[in-house]
Amino acid sequence: MFSGLGDMGKMFEGMQENAAKLQEELESKTFSVKSGGGMIEVQINGKGEVLDLTIDDELLSDKDSLQILIIGAINDANKMVQQNQQSSAMSMLGGLK
């Protein structure tokens, strides 16, 4: 009976290690999203930090459009990070019975 608990404890430790490794891998990834037909490009890391922002010169004279496109690109990039986190978690939990 206790050996089963020990096995479960080892399995839980392994899952914790895998989760930490997956989180570390995700945080080291870079995601790139384009918005406005490629006129805005945002690069974000797995922590949700914006690393780079590229703006087409044509947009510099249209402040309102520029703001909307930047916000949209950042939100899309963050969604991409969240989806990656979810799929990583699901793949890790897929081995559970």
**What CATH number is attached to the domain comprising 17?**
3.30.1310.10
- Which of 21-59 are b and which e, b meaning 16 or more Cβ less than 10 Å from the residue's Cβ? ebeeebeeeebebebbeebbbbbbbbeeeeeeeebeeeb
pLDDT number for residue 70: 93
Tokens of 46: 């797995």
> CA angle, corner 81, sides to 30 and 76, nearest 5?
100
pLDDT number for residue 39: 93
Number of other CB atoms surrounding residue 91 within 10 Å: 11
Per-residue pLDDT in tens (0 to 9) along the chain, 97 residues: 556 677 777 877 877 888 788 888 888 899 999 988 999 999 999 888 999 999 999 989 999 999 999 999 999 999 998 998 888 778 767 655 4
Name the domain count of the chain. Answer: 1
Range of 28's domain?
Answer: 2-93
pLDDT number for residue 11: 76
pLDDT number for residue 96: 55
Pick the closest to residue 26 from 80, 94, 93 (CA basis).
Answer: 80
pLDDT number for residue 3: 62
